[in-house]
């Protein structure tokens, strides 16, 4: 497939995910930290590992990898999130662009990750194939998606915006599009990757109060897309209603969540 015919989704996703970049960095990005820990540990990130995070956001995973000695790169659609990543990791090589057309040379990295990012690509198989292209033979490509929504409390919060959203961009399937093991294995096969394991990481999403919870939830690109259609007040009301069952006596919130991790190798 030529570069010209490749779907490019950064123009759509960048403004959405960067709309409230500081709230995302300060509150919402951290809910994925248990998955960051699990993936970086299994990947064996260490001194001089060449590491790239696709959909790197505000750079939390990259900062964790640097602390373990890695040389880090990242790509994201949102320039405002990348600005924060550069603040956090001044030595990192962070670039704005599309997952489906990575601005990196073939076989450059030992480890490539994508945390809750590939499901937002216009062509996830093409994006994962690009991840394979920039990974060294024998290197690891790991991707993380939300776990299966059935029985996951956080899914109720995520789904609260469903009725407010327009159809997703062509080719993208929404937050749970890659949540089943079958979907992940099929995606890996189409991208030419060998599956090592599919593992679940459990996490509790915690907020100290409603105001913080709403700032975090309203900072996602999905929320920004819903606001463009239904308005901020409607989105905030939907999130408030969805959070209500998880309110604790002290006014804090704790919501069970699962992340599904796909670990693959480049042959």
Is the pLDDT at 16 greater than 90, yes or no?
Answer: no
- Given this model, what pLDDT does residue 3 score? 35
**Position 145 in a domain:** yes
8 A C-beta contact, residue 62 and residue 74: yes
Domain count of the fold of the chain: 1
Give the domain CATH number at 142: 3.40.50.150
Residue 98 belongs to a domain: yes
For the segment 106-160, what is each residue's pLDDT rounded down to a tens digit?
999 999 999 999 988 888 999 999 999 999 999 999 999 999 999 999 999 999 9
The pLDDT assigned to 13 comes to 75
Structural domain includes residue 72: yes
Provide the pLDDT confidence category of residue 170 given band limits of 50, 70 and 90: low
Q: How far apart are CA 253 and CA 232, in angstroms?
A: 21
Q: Could you list the residue range(s) of the whole structural domain that residue 24 is in?
A: 3-203+258-265
Question: Is 28 part of a structural domain of the chain?
Answer: yes
pTM of the model: 0.92
Of the pLDDT bands very low, low, confident and very high (cuts 50, 70, 90), residue 184 is very high
Q: What is the pLDDT of residue 172?
A: 55
Answer yes or no: is 251 within a domain: no
Q: List Cβ neighbours of 34 (8 Å cut-off, separation of 6 or more).
A: 201, 202, 203, 259
Contact 119, 220 (CB under 8 A): no
* Alpha carbon 29 to chain centroid, angstroms: 9
Burial of 152-174, coded b for 16+ CB within 10 Å and e otherwise, reads bbbbebbebbeebbeebbebbeb
How much is the mean pLDDT over the chain? 92
Task: Please say whether the beta carbons of 120 and 95 come within 8 A.
Answer: no
The confidence score (pLDDT) of residue 90 equals 98
Asked if the structure places residue 233 within a domain, the reply is: no
């Amino acid at each position: 497939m030529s570069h010209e015919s490749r779907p490019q989704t950064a123009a759509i996703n960048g403004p959405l995910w960067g709309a409230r970049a500081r709230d995302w960095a300060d509150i919402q990005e951290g809910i994925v930290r248990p998955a960051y820990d699990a993936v970086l540990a299994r990947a064996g990130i260490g001194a001089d590992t060449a590491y790239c995070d696709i959909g790197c956001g505000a750079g939390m995973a990259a900062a964790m990898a640097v602390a373990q000695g890695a040389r880090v790169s990242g790509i994201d659609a949102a320039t405002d999130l990348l600005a924060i990543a550069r603040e956090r990791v001044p030595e990192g090589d962070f670039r704005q662009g599309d997952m489906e057309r990575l601005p990196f040379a073939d076989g450059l990295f030992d480890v490539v990750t994508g945390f809750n990012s590939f499901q937002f690509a216009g062509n996830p198989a093409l994006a994962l194939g690009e991840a394979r292209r920039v990974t060294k033979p024998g290197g690891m490509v790991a991707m993380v998606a939300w776990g299966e929504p059935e029985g996951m409390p956080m899914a109720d919060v995520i789904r609260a915006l469903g009725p407010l959203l327009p159809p997703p961009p062509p080719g993208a399937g929404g937050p749970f599009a890659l949540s089943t093991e079958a979907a992940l294995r099929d995606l890996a096969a189409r991208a030419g990757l060998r599956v090592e394991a599919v593992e679940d990481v459990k996490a509790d999403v915690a907020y100290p109060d409603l105001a913080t919870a709403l700032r975090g939830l309203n900072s996602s690109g999905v929320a920004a897309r819903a606001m463009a259609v239904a308005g901020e007040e409607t989105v905030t009301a939907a999130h408030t209603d969805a959070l209500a069952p998880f309110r604790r006596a002290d006014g804090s919130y704790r919501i069970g969540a699962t992340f599904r991790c796909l670990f693959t190798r480049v042959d």
